[in-house]
Amino acid sequence: MIYIIYLSLAGGFFSLLGFIHFFTDFVCQSHAEAMVKHNNPKIRAAHCAIYTLGFVPLLIFCLCVGALTWWQLIASVLILFVSHFCEDTYIPVYWWAKFIRRPPEMTEPIKQPSNIDGYVNVLPPDPKAGFVLFIQTTLGKILLIAVDQIFHLIFLWPIVWFVMSNLHVNMAIFK
């Protein structure tokens, strides 16, 4: 029974972190930022700083109630900022698409119409150009966003682990 309570508390805390993630990542970001952050490190850093600041009140509360230590709070802030900064380059999604999903746009020759009527230029496969073509499709957009969000949510779990690792010390139910 105690493990179900422990798992439920972990899931509840993850849900709270997930809400903060979606709020700060989507609501606190302009369209202009969203369109250029993957290519512009300064804009990406500003976005990641705002994103990380959204978690700070909860992390400080966790520190005050003994659910985080100082080093865990600092590690949590670094995990949030650095992981978000790396993920918003879309390189992890590109690697997923290239090595796991392997859409035809990234693996097959690229066919381009030529200036001469009826002829088609066939170029060798180009994963980077193919990725751009893939994410312009409806399925590509959906998968880009879904996989990107999965990567973001994965990096919330170390923070859940920090908090849960301190519960047995601070809660009588776990003693």
Tokens of 13: 């805390």
| Whole-number pLDDT of residue 170 | 63
Closest to 21 in 3D by CA, of 161, 163, 166, 159: 159
pTM metric for this prediction: 0.86
Characterise 8 by phi-psi region: left (phi > 0), alpha (psi -120 to 50), beta (else): alpha
| Whole-number pLDDT of residue 154 | 97
Closest to 86 in 3D by CA, of 51, 50, 134, 45: 45
* CA dihedral of residues 55, 84, 51, 170 (deg, nearest 10): 0
**Lowest-pLDDT range, 31-35, 37-41, 170-174?**
170-174
pLDDT in tens, 12-29: 999 999 999 999 999 988
Question: Tokens 């659910």 label which residue?
Answer: 67
Instruction: Tell me: pLDDT of 175 over 80.
Output: no
Instruction: Tell me: pLDDT of 110 over 90.
Output: no
pLDDT in tens, 147-166: 999 999 999 999 999 999 98
Closest to 164 in 3D by CA, of 62, 39, 36: 62
| Whole-number pLDDT of residue 55 | 98
Distance CA 96, CA 147 (A): 8
Rounded to whole angstroms, the maximal C-alpha distance in the chain is: 79
Q: What percent of the chain has pLDDT over 70?
A: 95
Is residue 66 helix, strand or coil?
Answer: coil
**Beta strand 120-123 with 110-113: parallel, antiparallel or unpaired?**
antiparallel
